[in-house]
């Protein structure tokens, strides 16, 4: 059962970051477009991801909450998480870019970021049924990967003809970063399942286990690189956004 505390913890960070996105784009943001992007992540992308996962064979039994082997960690990180999730988010980003192709400020970075945050909100609500946690790191990362994907997809679809190679390439960086982060995290889980030791517990000496330390550092590096890339994208967007009438642009977006 989803308690009030779990609901607040699940929704607070995604909604707060979405509000920051709107504030950054205050001079050119179309609230209807941005709201549609957020809802597309909550309803469309998450549902599409679930459909993809149902079509794939399960890597671990349903009753097994954590991976137990390195093979399962790699398969879970890429085949069950990064690839289907980024494909689902990217599909909806493409739909929104196509729907607003005549809009002068297509805002792929914002669209992608809000789709990612919407996806993270729905994922948080699902996970909250197991444990009520803030999960700020996952939310930040989904937003960052969505921004990267949205920017690259916008570049590939700008102009009279969409470039298939560019569209396919746009998925590579977010899938790779997402997969490395999740796989490294799952490898630590596999270590815990195999040895019974907590990676940061008092009985574990990371200095004597360089492989485990490397896995944790890879997770941290993937997150930091993703957040830095996303931060540069949002900074570049903020510098070049027009100072036009947002009300007029909002009406234009709604009419399309």
pLDDT tens digits for 18-48? 998 888 777 666 788 889 999 999 999 999 9
Can you tell me the mean pLDDT for 205-222?
77
Q: What is the pLDDT of residues 130-162, one digit of tens each?
A: 776 768 899 999 999 999 999 999 999 887 777
Query: Mapping DSSP to helix (H, G, I), strand (E, B) and coil, where does residue 119 land?
Result: helix
What percent of the chain clears pLDDT 90, i.e. is strictly above it? Answer: 45
Residue written as tokens 């590939």?
156
For residue 74, what are the contacts with CB-CB under 8 A and spacing of at least 6?
183, 186
Residue 144: predicted pLDDT = 97
Which among 70-79, 140-149, 207-216 has the top mean pLDDT? 140-149
Residue 62: predicted pLDDT = 60
User: Sign of the CA dihedral 187, 189, 195, 201?
Assistant: positive
pLDDT level of residue 205 (50, 70, 90 thresholds) = low
- pLDDT(102) > 90: no
Can you tell me the mean pLDDT for 51-80?
83
Select the more confidently predicted residue: 229 or 158.
229
- CB neighbours of residue 55 within 10 Å: 8
pLDDT level of residue 211 (50, 70, 90 thresholds) = confident
Residue 254: predicted pLDDT = 46
pTM for the whole structure:
0.87
- CB of 171 closer than 8 Å to CB of 49: no
Residue 72 structure tokens? 């399962």
Segment holding 60, helix H or strand E: none
Which among 73-82, 93-102, 128-137, 201-210 has the top mean pLDDT? 73-82
- pLDDT(187) > 50: yes
- CB of 34 closer than 8 Å to CB of 160: no
């Amino acid at each position: 059962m989803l308690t009030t505390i779990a609901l607040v913890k699940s929704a607070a960070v995604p909604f707060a970051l979405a509000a920051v996105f709107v504030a950054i784009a205050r001079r050119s943001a179309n609230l209807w477009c941005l709201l549609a992007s957020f809802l597309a992540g909550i309803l469309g992308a998450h549902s599409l991801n679930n459909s993809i996962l149902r079509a794939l064979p399960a890597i671990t039994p349903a009753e097994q909450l954590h991976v137990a082997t390195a093979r399962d960690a790699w398969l879970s990180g890429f085949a069950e998480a990064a690839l289907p999730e980024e494909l689902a988010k990217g599909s909806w980003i493409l739909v929104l870019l196509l729907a607003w192709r005549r809009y002068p400020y297509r805002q792929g970075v914002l669209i992608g970021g809000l789709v990612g945050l919407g996806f993270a909100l729905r994922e948080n609500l699902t996970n909250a049924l197991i444990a009520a946690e803030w999960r700020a790191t996952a939310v930040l990362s989904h937003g960052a990967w969505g921004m990267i994907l949205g920017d690259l997809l916008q570049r590939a679809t700008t102009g009279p003809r969409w470039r298939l190679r560019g569209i396919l390439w746009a998925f590579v960086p977010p899938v790779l970063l997402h997969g490395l982060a999740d796989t490294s995290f799952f490898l630590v889980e596999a270590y815990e399942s195999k040895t019974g030791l907590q990676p940061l517990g008092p009985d574990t000496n990371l200095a004597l286990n360089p492989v485990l330390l490397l896995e944790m550092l890879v997770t941290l590096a993937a997150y930091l690189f993703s957040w830095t890339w996303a931060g540069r994208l949002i900074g570049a967007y903020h510098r070049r956004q027009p100072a036009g009438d947002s009300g007029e642009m909002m009406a234009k977006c709604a009419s399309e």
